[in-house]
Amino acid sequence: MEEQTLDLSDYLSAFKRRRLSIFVIAATIFVIGALAALLWPPTYKSSATILIKEQDIPAELVQSTVTSFASQRIQAISQKVMARPNLLEIIKKYDLYTDERKRLTTEEIINDMRDDIGLDLIDANVVDPRTGRPTSATIAFQLSFSGENPGQVQKVANELMSLYLEENLKERSEQANVTYVFLKKESERLDKEIAELQAKLATFKEQHVNSLPELRQLNQSMLDRTEREISDIDNQIRAQGQTRVYLQSQLVQLKPFGANMELDPKTRLQALRTEYLGLLARYSTDHPDVIRARREIEGLEKETGQVDSSAEQLKKIEALRGEKAILSKKYSPEHPDVIKLERQIKSLEQSVDSSPAPSKLASSAADNPDNPAYIQIQTQIEASDTEIRSLRIKQTGLKKRLDDYEQRLIETPQVEREYSSLTRDLQNTVMEYQDIRTKLTAAEIAQELEKDSKGERFVIIEPPILPEEPVSPNRPAILFLSLVLALGSGIGYAAIGESLDDTVRGRKSLSLAIGAAPLAVIPYLATDTEIRKHKRTVAARASAVAAAIILAVAMVHYLWTPLDVLWYKALRKADIVVNT
């Protein structure tokens, strides 16, 4: 079967056949859209624009303690402002969501209000002063609230704006206070720590007052000086010893008593004994002079009785021992001079041990010599002995002092380690304290900066106003879309109906159905009843069109723009067009 080719007359015929269905469907959809545009409650929106103003005083002079980015701070403030207690208080204060509170939960109402609050950040391309590179920074933000009541919307927007401003000031002040309090506590803690370290260091110095590192050079110099003094005293003792030996040798050669032969036998006996000791110091016991002196002494002893000369012998023994000590430093014990002195010392010691108890007369004679030269040398020997004793006492004190200085120098390295540790801790703590004090001063200035509102702050550049027109719904757009949807639906229904209808209509359909052209075409002859029905239908349709036009004009007047205003706009536009 050959496919039928449709032309304009076919489309017009199809439209005439289904015009009622098209009209009903289109009218129904349009009316639904119009009712939606008419009955949809209006939504008003009131917004405020807030500028983020930098601090008045240059940051190079006063550094703020609030260092977070503006966008971060705004988001943080938003979380606090949109907290549940704040939103509930605003809802109760302005009686918002009256109908919703009857059928929704509190959490759902809170979520609806959060959806109605708008926050839009306004960014701008700026140059970062720290790096000198271009970057994007938040310079302002827009805060808005949407609702059905214009007055409530403006009040709520004002309330939200006030909360943002107050929360920003509160947050900056709290952050500045927190920073100041923290730095103050750290300063006090470090101050106490410094006092403790200073007390510990002072105690340490008292305990090791002589072993401190700064006294190392002094202790070393005093040690060297003490060693030199000890060496000098050793030399002096050695010199005094040599002098004493020399004087002792001189004394041995002198007689304690004078050479007067008129002396009594006892005095003469004492002089001979002294002379005998001198001979023993120079010669052996077998020497003729020694034998002669001994025989003469024995004769006088028989004549006068025993006279003790042990005092002189002891002095002689002491002198010989001193001389032997000097010779022992120079020679070995087998040296002839050393052996000779040992023999003389032993002989004198035996003589002293065998001598009887002294008598008063002999003791007086022995202790009171009358030879001036002997007395002078004896005095010099005693002075030398006194000087040697004094030097030895001084030497003992110097050796103790030397040991003390050596102990100080030995203790100095260990003391230095502990002292350096304490000093280093004190210095580090002092540096940290000074740094904290500097930051504390800056924090105190920043705190005053926030109190005087000289820091970065929010400035209102556009407060919320009473909205005059709703932002939604867009009624003209809804009407236009309803009209387009209505026409599309009606025409689509007609097209689908025609494609599914197999009825033979007209000459072309008949020719295609029977495969031959008809002999004649008789037009449709309407009856009088059909003619009257057609007239009534035309009148009804005209009335419906008129009503639709009136409804459209009314909707334009009440929902979009009043007709008089639209008329004046049209005249003004026409006047502009004519004049141009």
The number of folded domains in the chain is 4
Average pLDDT over residues 44-73: 66
> Among the listed ranges 162-166, 203-207, 234-238, 398-402, which one has the minimum average pLDDT value?
203-207
Q: Are residues 24 and 64 in the same domain?
A: no
CATH number of the domain that 458 lies in? Answer: 3.30.1890
Please report the pLDDT score of residue 7 as a whole number. Answer: 61
Percent of residues, the chain, with pLDDT higher than 90: 1
**pLDDT value of position 359:** 41
pLDDT of residue 233: 86
Res 339: pLDDT:
76
Distance CA 65, CA 367 (A): 101
pLDDT score at 460 = 84
Q: Quick one: 275 and 380 in the same domain?
A: yes
Residue 572 structural domain: 524-580
pLDDT score, position 355: 53
Residues 291 and 244 in one domain: yes
Q: Within a domain: residue 431?
A: no
- Phi and psi at 98, nearest 5°, equal -65, -50
Q: Which range has the top average pLDDT, 100-109, 169-178, 455-464?
A: 100-109
241 and 285: one domain?
Answer: yes
Mean pLDDT of 202-208: 79
Residues 253 and 388 in one domain: yes
331 or 487, higher pLDDT: 487
Q: What is the pLDDT of residue 562?
A: 75
Instruction: Find the mean pLDDT for residues 275-291.
Output: 70
Indicate if 237 and 371 belong to the same structural domain: yes
Predicted confidence (pLDDT) per residue in 401-452, tens digit = 888 888 878 877 787 788 788 888 888 989 988 888 888 877 777 776 666 5
* DSSP string across 334-355: TSHHHHHHHHHHHHHHHHHHHS
Question: Is 343 inside a domain boundary?
Answer: yes
- % of the chain surpassing 70 pLDDT: 72
- Spatial strand order in the sheet of 44-53: 117-127, 134-147, 44-53, 457-462
Residue 270 confidence (pLDDT):
66
State the pLDDT at residue 354: 56
Do 366 and 262 fall within a single domain? yes
Region of poorest pLDDT, from 69-83, 454-468, 498-512, 531-545: 498-512
CB atoms within 10 A of CB 449: 22
Looking at the chain, the number of H-run helices and the number of E-run strands are: 17, 4
Quick one: pLDDT at residue 366? 44
Q: What's the pLDDT score for residue 281?
A: 60
Tell me the C-alpha to C-alpha distance, in Å, between residue 101 and each of 91, 106, 134, 154, 421: 10, 7, 49, 21, 71
Q: Which of 148-157, 246-255, 288-297, 434-443 has the lowest mean pLDDT?
A: 246-255
What is the rounded distance in angstroms from the CA atom of residue 460 to the CA atom of residue 252? Answer: 124
Residue 214: inside a domain: no
pLDDT attached to residue 514 = 67
**Cα–Cα distance measured from residue 75 to residue 130, given in angstroms and rounded to the nearest whole number:** 24
Give a yes or no: residue 572 inside a domain: yes
Task: Tell me, yes or no, whether 145 and 236 share the same domain.
Answer: no
Residue 381 lies inside a defined structural domain of this protein: yes
Comparing 196-205, 241-250, 389-398, 559-568, the range with the smallest average pLDDT is 559-568
**Predicted local distance difference test score (pLDDT) of residue 456:** 66
| pLDDT for the residue numbered 55 | 63
Confidence of residue 256 (pLDDT cuts 50, 70, 90): low
Query: CA–CA separation, 154 vs 578, rounded Å?
Result: 43
pLDDT value for 361: 38
Same domain, 282 and 342: yes
Q: For 125, list phi and psi in degrees, rounded to 5.
A: -80, 120
> Structure pTM?
0.48
Query: What pLDDT does 363 receive?
Result: 42
The reply to whether 578 and 505 lie within a common domain is no
- Best CA proximity match to 190, nearest among 437, 393, 355, 501: 437
> According to the per-residue pLDDT averaged within each range, which of 106-110, 128-132, 367-371 is highest?
106-110
Could you say which DSSP state residue 472 is in? B
Are 274 and 372 contained in the same domain? yes
Decide if 359 is inside a domain. Answer: yes
C-alpha to C-alpha distance for 480 and 473, rounded to whole angstroms: 13
Q: Indicate if the pLDDT at residue 286 is higher than 80.
A: no
Whether residue 432 is contained in a domain is answered as: no
Q: Which of 143-147, 193-197, 335-339, 460-464 is least confident?
A: 335-339
* Residue 262 pLDDT exceeds 50: no
Give the residue-averaged pLDDT of 538-567. Answer: 76
Query: Of residues 23 and 2, which shows the higher confidence score?
Result: 23
Q: What is the dihedral of CA 104, 107, 108, 111, to 10 degrees?
A: 150
pLDDT at 510: 63
Mean pLDDT of the chain: 75
Rounded CA separation 242/235 (Å): 10
Q: Residue 194 falls within a domain, yes or no?
A: no
What pLDDT shows up at residue 362? 39
322 lies in the same domain as 388 = yes
Q: Is the pLDDT of residue 574 over 50?
A: yes
DSSP for residue 560: I
- 408/415 Cα distance (integer angstroms): 10
Residue 239, token pair as written in the block:
């010199």
Average pLDDT value for residue range 84-109:
87
- Report which of residues 291 and 1 the model is more confident about: 291
